[in-house]
Structure 1
């Protein structure tokens, strides 16, 4: 592991000279070496994080059937260019300028999605709040191993991965690459999911 800390000039949010950049090179099974970096302002709390592989990768799709409570501990590497799909939940998370990379596990990924749904429920109508609560309940059952889903990571730069022998890795075709969005950050829940 190789670490480096650099004090930067000024924070883009508060304009104080309190921004710290942390770089760490780590090795991830099934994936290789990645640069994990975080930018954090000690004054205002501004934060950006991402992971980038050291070596070039090919555009890829990882699929994982989450079928038991043991599966929620499987490691996930999600880059800032990754689209996440969970068809059984009707969830699509697409990358954009504010998208961050992170290393977590299935439970962490599901918890992040649950938090976004919870935030959205605060602004929604009664019907949307009810649907949001149903999704959160389903996510909680998934984490407890009582439900099953397929988690799909699609990354045009190949910087994302699921570190498990259970995961299926496929190359993305040119047509599939054209379908991936690179616009503003987007979180979508399809309306026709039960």
Structure 2
């Protein structure tokens, strides 16, 4: 892994500046990745980001989960990408301090489940809708329901590593700029 750049960033938590280092890494089956990391020396905030080093232009990636093995597909989501699972009502949108990550489809479902469970436990009313959403996510974790993962990346550096993932150009409208 080669360090290619070092720069200063303002901490989104405390406002102090800290150093971020960028590394270029050649990953098997994936290609070149740009990994970024830094830690604020004042408050301990950790910044990390991962993305493909080479853009393929704005892309939409679609991947359908039909069986348990499909949950093992590797997902590289850049900090600029929107991730959706329409059948489950999941939408993860990029924000000011969004970070890219490498995980699996299963890892995404687990993360969404944990966040939904936290919200359900800490809301004033344990709604029936909340319980239903958690049940749907459990079914998705077992691949007992079919669902689709969609990534829309305006800079084209996200991917799903699977021969069954479909990529297409992402059409942009004027309101996106």
TM range (shorter): 0.7 to 0.9
CA spacing shift, 1:61–1:7, aligned 2, 3 Å? closer
1 CA distance for matches of 2:8 and 2:172? 39
User: Which range moved further: 32-41 or 104-113?
Assistant: 32-41
CA spacing shift, 1:31–1:13, aligned 2, 3 Å? same
Q: Report if the CA contact (8 A) 2:60-2:152 is conserved.
A: yes
Matches within 5 A, 1:131-142: 131-142=129-140
Q: In the alignment, is residue 126 of structure 1 matched against residue 146 of structure 2?
A: no
2 CA distance for matches of 1:11 and 1:97? 12
Cα drift, residue 50 of structure 1:
1.2
Tell me, what secondary structure is at the counterpart of 1:131?
helix
Matches within 5 A, 1:58-97: 58-97=57-96
Residues 49-89 of structure 1, C-alpha deviations (whole Å, 9 max, x = no match):
21233223210011111111111111000011111111110
Cα drift, residue 106 of structure 1:
0.6
TM-score using structure 2 length? 0.81
Mark the runs of 5 or more structure 1 residues left unpaired by the alignment.
Answer: 183-194
TM-score using structure 1 length? 0.75
1:171 counterpart residue number? 169
Aligned length: 176
